[in-house]
Amino acid sequence: MTIDRLQTQRFELKYRVDEATAVAVRRFVQAYLVPDDFGQNRAIPSYPVHSLYLDSAELALYRATVNGDTKRFKLRVRYYDDRPETPVYLEIKRRADRCIMKERALVTKTNAARLIAGEEPALRHLVRPDARGFAALRTFCGLMRRMGATPRAHVGYEREAWVSAGRNAVRVTMDRAIRCEPCLQSRFETAFGHGRPVFADRVILEVKFTDRFPAWVGSMVQAFGLQQQSAAKYVDGVAACGEPQVRLMPALPGTPPSFPPVSVAI
């Protein structure tokens, strides 16, 4: 999965719904959206998504969300399978009030592990070297060093995704079977050893749009009585696992060292 349809800046609305409502929403959005690239040619356009989240020893990024900081960010490695040859995305996801901004760089799994271990970012680390990807790579590594961030948690789920044809200006996703477990190493595995369910049997419905709020989304919200709720997979995942299990895990061989602070604009 290397097709990049990233919405670099967008608004997000999140809802926790039951399975019956999720199925009804699927029928509704089919009138406006099409399956995204990864879900085409499937009866239900879904696929597995996995993220390795990085945070400081004090879980500063986790606490920023818990405290409701209006300007906050997350560092994660996004991947879709555990094949060694498949690349991964190093991502920075920022929130400024209601707006979400994302930057990411596509690298191999081997290079991702090296960068997390402290190797200096270079163009050769990118799968497809370009200025935007290199800028994202440098920002990711700079933030990681500034915070002394290391791998903390593995989150995985099954994503059903629908997008507006051609532009990707509107995206509706439904995430199921969300699980989380502590992970302190740069492992890009899909299997869970002791994964905890994060939202029980709830489906996390997200509406993401880059321009104005689509009128048909308002109709959908009203038709199904949707109530907007927070649903932060990393934060709720840490809570499900138990904060001490993530924050106080002992260092393991090969764990990246702490880094001195560097100047990086947030």
Does residue 251 carry a pLDDT above 90?
A: no
Dihedral sign (CA 38, 41, 45, 51): negative
Cα gap 1→6, rounded to integer Å: 13
Cα gap 46→250, rounded to integer Å: 36
In order of their start, the domains of the chain are 9-247 (3.20.100.30)
This prediction has a pTM of 0.88
Give exposure, 200-213, as e/b (b: 16+ Cβ within 10 Å).
eebbbbbbbbeeee
How do residues 6-16 score in pLDDT, each as one tens digit?
A: 555 788 999 99
Does residue 227 carry a pLDDT above 60?
A: yes
Distance of CA 229 to the CA centre of its chain: 17
Does residue 187 carry a pLDDT above 50?
A: yes
CB distance 84 to 175 below 8 Å:
no
Does residue 89 carry a pLDDT above 90?
A: yes
Query: 116: Cβ–Cβ under 8 A, 6 or more apart, which residues?
Result: 54, 77, 144, 150, 151, 186, 256
pLDDT of residue 185: 93
- Tell which wins on pLDDT, 223 or 257: 223
CB distance 73 to 143 below 8 Å:
yes
Residue 120 is classified by DSSP as: P
